[in-house]
Chains A and B, each alone.
Chain A
Amino acid sequence: MTIPAPAASTTVEPPAVKTPETVGRSPGQLMWLRFRRDPTGIASAGVVIFFFLVAILAPVISWLYGKDPYTLYGQDTPGLLNDFGYPVLPNGGMSSDFWFGVEPNLGRDVFMQLVYGIRTSLLIAMVATILISVIGIVMGIVAGYAGGRTDYFIGRLIDLVLSFPSTLFIIAFMPVVENLFVDPSEETPVWLRAVTLITLLTAFGWAGIARLLRGQVLSMREREFVEAAKVTGASPARIIFKELLPNLWTPILIQSTLLLPAMVTAEAALSFLGVGMIEPIPDWGRMFLRGTQVYQNDITFLIFPGAALLIFVIAFNLLGDSVRDAFDPKLKR
């Protein structure tokens, strides 16, 4: 009776200590664990987040920095630009007042132009990417799951869109939109340009992701777990959302992370070709266009937007790579 009862506690404790950690983890958690161990992934994620913060906080940066992207500083303040309209100071007019220099001729602040340009470009690219993903997912799954005639028609539609010369079409279509929707006495509204750009980028972008998902769904449709769900009387909606979709998240995520930088460059390219956002809305692509015109006398003006876009696109691509690796470790090189 005098024996204490530590045994009870010892008998309880050992199994708790000794059992290996077989904690149930969701694929998402597993992915996150693997992703955390990947320094490239973390670094590129940091860069990407930084760019998004810059875009979101552009007005705050402008307020802290004390300048805006529209004022023509170089023209209002004598001594910043020479007679030919080029910055007088070396390195494109970089100084403590103008961190990235002054724009040639118009004399706007390059830093602010870049920050707001990133904002414009990222906003358009972001919306286009989300729309493309949603439309692509819906079309892809419907085509793959429904099969038959639906699959045939959606398949042909995808073929059509993929074979369409999208850039040429957008260049030709932009003026038409303007003539259709804009009254001659009104300026083309900024939102109209943005909406048209987003619509056109989406219209030509969804086919790729849809075709990919259709193939995935097609291969999964005949698998046992889908058969089992069908036998138990699950509705098509349940099968799509609860059985098929969870297995598709990997390709969807990877596709969209690769899509966003593609959209940023596409938007920049369109602005470069003159059908993107127009003056005076700051735009990344148009900065390039201007940069290529003046680089012989002012290389700095080309370098800042150039380096920024390069870093952003590479970081986002690396991020997409890391996400893919984290989801699917079997394919690791």
Chain B
Amino acid sequence: MKVRTRSAMAVLAIGALALTSACAEGNQGAPAAPSGSAGASAPAVEAYKAPTITVGTAEDSKGPAIEPEGVVKGGTVTMIDRDDFSHMDPGQLYVNTETNFSLLIARTLTGYKRTAKSEYKLVGDLATDTGTPSDGGKTWTFTLKDGVKWEDGTPITSEDVKWSMERTFASFITQGPTYIQQWLTDVDHKKAYQGPYDGKRLDAIETPDEKTIVYKFKTPHADANYAFAMGGYGIVPKAKDTKEKYDKAPVSSGPYIIKNHVVDKSIDLERNPNWDPATDPIRGAYPDKWRLEFGQEALQITDRLMADAGPDQTAFTFYATVPPERLQQVLGDPALAPRLMKSPSPYGNYYYFNLDRMKDQKIRQAINYAWPSKQIQQTMGGPAAAALPTTILNENTTVGYQPYDLFNKTTKPEGDIEKAKQLLAESSNPTPTIVYAYNQTPVQEQVTVVIKSALEKAGIKVVAKPLDRKTYYDSIGLTKNEFDLYWGGWGADWPSGSTVMPVIFGPIADGAPNYSHLKDEAITKKMDEITAMTDIDAQNAAWMALDKEIQETITPLVVAENRIANTLHGSKIGGAEIDPQSWVVQPNRIFVKQ
């Protein structure tokens, strides 16, 4: 009896405790910006300086990389992130975290060398310089450096470089950039050439000797040297090419070798003895060992980095930004300011309509009007975590940016339900049902609730389909997918508007980034004309005009919120910086403080 009376009392006591401790303080508005940290004020976009990128000389292309201040070599660095890399085969790389990782194990012909904050130079990585164009930009010649080797010590030859490009035509390569392939052959490059595995070689690439490689394009491409810097054009050894299996066990040409890979859990890297820093102007490769851990949500990662305990002091993350739940705390804590990195997204983020299934433009416009931009922004953590753009081209990375606002997003960021209803009434189906596919992350799950709630107010039934995160892009990349609306991000592959529009509205293929499946002859023709323009300013203006025209006449997408990354790193990590182009913390300059 006594025992039970006491336990009944315990219940009461706990209940009382719950009531008393419930006196939590309120959260009055946004906290003031912590003093002393310049870039931490709420509208971070203003403090942001767009990166300047220039073409470097052969002298710039010599190693080693410029060392960060106070650099220390050695030690083990930990990288914590949510997802394992779904691809490691260079030919399959297009996702920013994956290409970022490939900097550690694979080299490209050219690359970006950081010379100062927000200042980069395009330099030769494997090549001695950024290539020599001839024939009006149709022919590009590269010479390989001396002393560049594979992890087994065999030299990297021009034959390997040629092979790496040829194999990207093979049928098992479904991701990855396709610019150079198209320039070498045809827009439908996979039809023009099927890869080197059946013995047929590509004549458009010539290898006069072991060190020289010549690319012959069909049309002039003055910016080809930028294209060769993409992680997707990393090299693969001809002698050790295992086709599909290469994706699981790549051979290293970079500073590290994969020692151990437990899928979805961890990757251990150790030094590649055959990588010579004197040949590499880009990669510092200061730590001796890397440990990459996967499977943690951004929230846990942020909590670990905030606590900064023991081994987490030497940890950082490629991509896990501070989630909405912790933003108030992280931005309000001056002690965390030195370890906080901030950068607005250089990407365009869109909710693509699948035009094969959503054929009525009125419905697409109605969804645009009803779109709950402001609510999504709040769910993501407010103006400190996301901006609300209205254009397809990103304002942070577009030269000659001209804003326009077709769907009243500046006046009604919370969505114009009345206008949407009106448009739906005029459309072919006033009560449509759409299938919205989303990446199943905690934040996206909440955003989905918000979208569903808003669109249902306008009378649109939303069927939400969660997709597995690791294969998200693979799922929405299928041309025959069964979804109507899905999110996709796209970033300029090098600083030019030509790497956005002709890509996201380019060829339709499995894995190609034309997720809306837009196929319009007039638009395609216009894009070809703009690409061929030689006056850069006129070209930029033309891209801006086309941006508006596409949204007006076709409406293939809803412009999504543009996230602002707030990312923490451990206190013993030096040289950490969000790369303004790829928007991930790049590994080249990371070192472990003693």
Contacts and interface: CB of A to CB of B under 8 A. Distances in A.
Interface of A: 40, 43-44, 70-72, 75, 81-94, 104-106, 175, 184-187, 278-280, 293-294, 296-300, 303-304, 306-307, 310-311, 314-315, 318, 321-322, 333
Contact of B325 (A43, A89, A184, A294): A294
A86 B326 contact: no
A6 to B, nearest CB: 49
Contact of B372 (A75, A187, A280, A318): A75
Nearest to A280: B449
Contacts of B435: 185
A72 B374 CA distance: 13
Interface in B5-27: 5, 7-8, 10-11, 14-15, 18, 21-27
Contacts of B449: 72, 106, 279-280
Contact of A90 (B23, B42, B464): B23
Given A84-B324, A84-B382, A303-B18, A293 B299 contact: yes
B450 A300 contact: no
Q: Which residue, of A70, A105, A175, has the highest number of chain B Cβ atoms within 10 A?
A: A105
18 contacts: A40-B7, A70-B453, A75-B372, A81-B378, A82-B382, A84-B327, A84-B328, A85-B378, A88-B26, A92-B24, A93-B26, A106-B449, A186-B463, A279-B446, A293-B323, A298-B27, A310-B11, A318-B8
B24 A91 contact: yes
B26 A89 contact: yes
Interface string B425-464: 0000000000100000010011011101100000000011
A69 B22 CA distance: 22
B526 interface: no
A280 B381 contact: no
A75 B373 CA distance: 11
B21 A303 contact: yes
A81 B383 CA distance: 13
Interface residues of B, number: 56
B8 A43 contact: yes
A82 B14 contact: no
B384 interface: yes
Nearest to B18: A307
A71 B454 CA distance: 10
B8 A297 contact: no
Nearest to A178: B466
A298 B24 contact: yes
A297 B375 contact: no
Contacts of A75: 372, 374-375, 378-379, 414, 450, 453
Contacts of B323: 293
Given A40-B4, A186-B463, A318-B7, A106 B18 contact: no
Interface of B: 1, 3-5, 7-8, 10-11, 14-15, 18, 21-30, 42, 299, 323-329, 372, 374-375, 378-379, 381-384, 414, 435, 442, 445-446, 448-450, 452-453, 463-466, 468, 482-483
A300 B328 CA distance: 16
A120 to B, nearest CB: 16
A209 B411 CA distance: 63
A321 B42 CA distance: 56
A184 B18 contact: no
Contact of A87 (B27, B414, B483): B27
Contact of B445 (A184, A279, A333): A279
Nearest to A301: B24
Given A75-B453, A85-B324, A280-B449, 20 more contacts: A72-B449, A72-B450, A82-B28, A82-B30, A83-B378, A83-B383, A84-B324, A85-B382, A88-B26, A90-B26, A184-B482, A185-B483, A279-B449, A293-B325, A299-B21, A300-B24, A303-B18, A303-B21, A321-B4, A322-B4
A175 B468 CA distance: 10
A303 B329 CA distance: 20
Contact of B446 (A105, A186, A187): A105
A84 B446 contact: no
Contacts of B8: 40, 43-44, 318
B15 A311 contact: yes
A86 B328 CA distance: 9
A106 B379 contact: yes
A293 B28 CA distance: 20
Nearest to B327: A84
Contacts of A105: 324-325, 378-379, 446
Contacts of B465: 184-185, 187
A194 B73 CA distance: 55
Contacts of A304: 18
B362 to A, nearest CB: 22
Contacts of A94: 22
A304 B19 CA distance: 9
Contacts of A303: 18, 21-22
A84 B24 contact: no
A185 B382 CA distance: 32
Given A105-B379, A106-B446, A88 B23 contact: no
A185 B482 contact: yes
A89 B42 CA distance: 21
A40 B464 CA distance: 47
A104 B382 contact: no
B30 A84 contact: yes
Contact of B381 (A85, A187, A307): A85
Nearest to B3: A333
Contacts of B325: 104-105, 293-294, 296-297
Contacts of A40: 4-5, 7-8
Nearest to B23: A91
A318 to B, nearest CB: 7
Q: Which residue, of A43, A81, A93, A280, has the highest number of chain B Cβ atoms within 10 A?
A: A280
Contacts of B27: 82, 84, 86-88, 297-298
B63 to A, nearest CB: 45
B161 to A, nearest CB: 41
Contacts of B379: 75, 85, 105-106
Q: Which residue, of A91, A106, A186, A333, has the highest number of chain B Cβ atoms within 10 A?
A: A106
Nearest to B448: A279
A18 B1 CA distance: 34
A303 B19 CA distance: 8
A104 B26 CA distance: 12
B375 A88 contact: no
Contacts of A293: 299, 323, 325, 442
A83 B384 contact: yes
Nearest to A92: B24
A94 B29 CA distance: 16
A84 B384 contact: yes
A90 B382 CA distance: 19
B464 A187 contact: yes
